[in-house]
Chains A and B, each alone.
Chain A
Amino acid sequence: MYTQGLDQKPDTEKQVDGTEQLVRFQARIDADEKIEPKDWMPDGYRKTLIRQISQHAHSEIVGMLPEGNWITRAPTLRRKAILLAKVQDEAGHGLYLYSATETLGVSRDQLTEQLLTGKAKYSSIFNYPTLSWADIGAIGWLVDGAAIMNQIPLCRCSYGPYARAMVRVCKEESFHQRQGFEIMLELSRGSDAQRRMAQDALNRWWWPSLMMFGPSDVDSKHSAQSMAWKIKRFSNDELRQKFVDVTVPQAEFLGLTMPDTDLDWNESRGHYDFGEIDWQEFYEVLKGNGPCNRERLAARQSAHDDGAWVRTAAVAYAQKQKRRCQAA
């Protein structure tokens, strides 16, 4: 999850060239052994992981923005508390994932810099706006729901620190998903105005949620190598289908209508058929042309800039303290 842009850039694709080290490395992976930070690993493996994990971390952090929008406006104190706890969890996910990336030899400062300069990507889903309270429900239900689909297989990822971080993250994401669904349930059982709000949120978030799984398998260049390295265990389309199959009955339960006229149960496949994703939109948002790309980066940038004097002061203070300790 949160890494859908990865499938585009083929620059880490390096063929296994048959050296002994590589053969041994692949053998360990095939035996389902975990690779740990100090172990030898091919450059491409390291680069792919850095890109994937940091993209995931950035997504957690940028993802705090659309939801953070509604903390001050949550409709009840209980909902406010739940939302605060959720957003706090996302910051925690960002932190574990940055730490996991650091085990691969990149510093957090470098990672932040990559995010702010636009060099590193984050999940496009967070470039969509949260316009009503129902969006907080829809994000929990659909976005955290899609995240879980993607992340559960990552708990068995070959890279130890990432796999372990994912175990912890997944537990919290499933809690988020339930809370989101509960918001949608409350709205869909509420007044006409609330149902309208819920339906509108579903209309806006459904397709972007499907895009979270990345390009279709036909266009996805990286999958084979990532699969061989057990960084990825299922293809984009497999996971997307799984998500659709799980989510459609939930929408029915809510009494909401999926914004897809092609959506239909296919008895022979044992899956739901669904309409064509607007890939044009997907690539545009990825390029920076989504509704909130500029706002999201600007918000991170201004938090970073406004906090510069605070971080500098903390460093200065720590140095003074250290000198005092040495002098004493």
Chain B
Amino acid sequence: MTDKTHLFEYLLRLGDNALVLGQRLGEWVAHGPELEEEMAMANFALDYIGQARLFLSYAGEVEGQRRDEDQLAFLRDSIDFKNVLLVEQPNGDFGQTIARQFLYESFYQFQLEGLSRSTDTRIAEIAERVSKEIRYHLRHTRKWVLRLGDGTDESHKRIQNSFDELWRFSGELFVADETDNWAVEHGIGPNPETLSSRWNQFVGAALTEATLIQPDDGWMDGGGRYGRHSEHLGYLLADMQFLQRAYPAASW
């Protein structure tokens, strides 16, 4: 693969993670447990959609096939989506969304830290800006992990269960493949394998404080980055892409 195809691939992964997560969070709007949380969800969704636009429009430029952010978002099928499986998992109850966000954002913060030192100045600038957003999200999300974990028996049971369920999707975050190795070699981004001990520490500390048990690393699912997704992604894309598919080439 050439540098160009590697970079394109790398940006798609970043963009798709943000896009799919933004789409999931958007589903919460008007259905949250309280008004303040609905606002927070909308705000976080908005941040992720903004990030997706930055990464995907850059990806389109790198590819050089005149595909813009919308063509990449709305006109690829799931086989070409490069997000990790964790972000496409359904919202479930509020606790499950919090668990998913927490696991992912704990990883994303460290990934962004590495990306902000990227030799690719555009990536570095985006990462710099996004880091601030994710720091804010994480403060909020971590607080909810504590509240639910150390709240009532019911909330404790529910969120423990969510962490147990989602844990199998955490492994994929830290597997370095050819594209990651290319990124490391060129100083584009961090080696995901090196992020896992900090992630474990960060997540472990929060779970302990929340009186929750850190699940064992058993069998780990994966494949999202290669276009092998869970069944959930198809429905998400069907919803998201409907208008662009139904009215090809229309302008909105």
Give the interface of A toward B (CB within 8 A): 61, 64-65, 68, 71-81, 84-85, 87-88, 91-92, 94-95, 98, 133, 183, 186-187, 190-191, 193-194, 299, 302-303, 306-314, 316-318, 320
Contacts and interface: CB of A to CB of B under 8 A. Distances in A.
Contacts of B35: 61, 91, 94-95, 98
B29 A64 contact: yes
A277 to B, nearest CB: 29
Interface in B25-47: 26-27, 29-39, 42-43, 45-46
User: Which 8 pairs from chain A and chain B are nearest by CB?
Assistant: A307-B33, A313-B151, A313-B155, A68-B30, A88-B42, A75-B252, A75-B243, A310-B33
Nearest to A132: B243
Nearest to A318: B147
Contacts of B52: 77
A87 B30 contact: yes
B46 A312 contact: no
B220 interface: no
Contacts of A317: 146-148, 150-151
A193 B247 contact: yes
Contacts of B49: 77, 80-81, 84
B152 A316 contact: yes
B243 A133 contact: yes
B43 A88 contact: yes
Contacts of A77: 19, 49, 52-53, 56, 69-70, 73
Contact of A190 (B94, B158, B239, B250): B250
Majority DSSP secondary structure for residues of A touching B: helix
A89 to B, nearest CB: 9
A198 to B, nearest CB: 12
A84 B32 contact: no
Nearest to A61: B35
A81 B33 CA distance: 22
9 contacts: A71-B29, A73-B243, A75-B243, A75-B244, A77-B70, A84-B29, A95-B35, A299-B30, A317-B146
Chain B interface residue number, banded: 35 or more
Interface string B61-85: 0000000011001100000000000
B94 A307 contact: yes
A313 B73 contact: no
Interface string B215-244: 000000000000000000000100110111
Interface of B: 19, 22-23, 26-27, 29-39, 42-43, 45-46, 49-50, 52-53, 56, 69-70, 73-74, 93-95, 146-148, 150-152, 154-155, 158, 236, 239-240, 242-244, 247, 250-252
Given A77-B69, A84-B29, A303-B32, A64 B38 contact: yes
B251 A84 contact: no
Contacts of A318: 147
B85 to A, nearest CB: 19
Contact of A314 (B45, B151, B252): B151
A95 B155 contact: no
B38 to A, nearest CB: 5
Nearest to B154: A309
A91 B32 CA distance: 11
Contact of A313 (B38, B53, B154): B154
B53 A78 contact: yes
B39 A92 contact: yes
A94 B38 CA distance: 11
Contacts of A95: 35-36, 39
Contacts of A84: 26, 29, 42, 45-46, 49
A314 B46 contact: no
Nearest to B23: A72
B53 A81 contact: yes
Contact of A64 (B30, B37, B69, B154): B30
A171 to B, nearest CB: 18
A312 B151 contact: yes
Contact of B252 (A79, A85, A309): A79
A59 B155 CA distance: 31
Given A72-B23, A309-B155, 12 more contacts: A71-B45, A76-B74, A78-B53, A80-B22, A84-B46, A88-B29, A88-B42, A190-B252, A303-B32, A310-B34, A313-B155, A317-B150
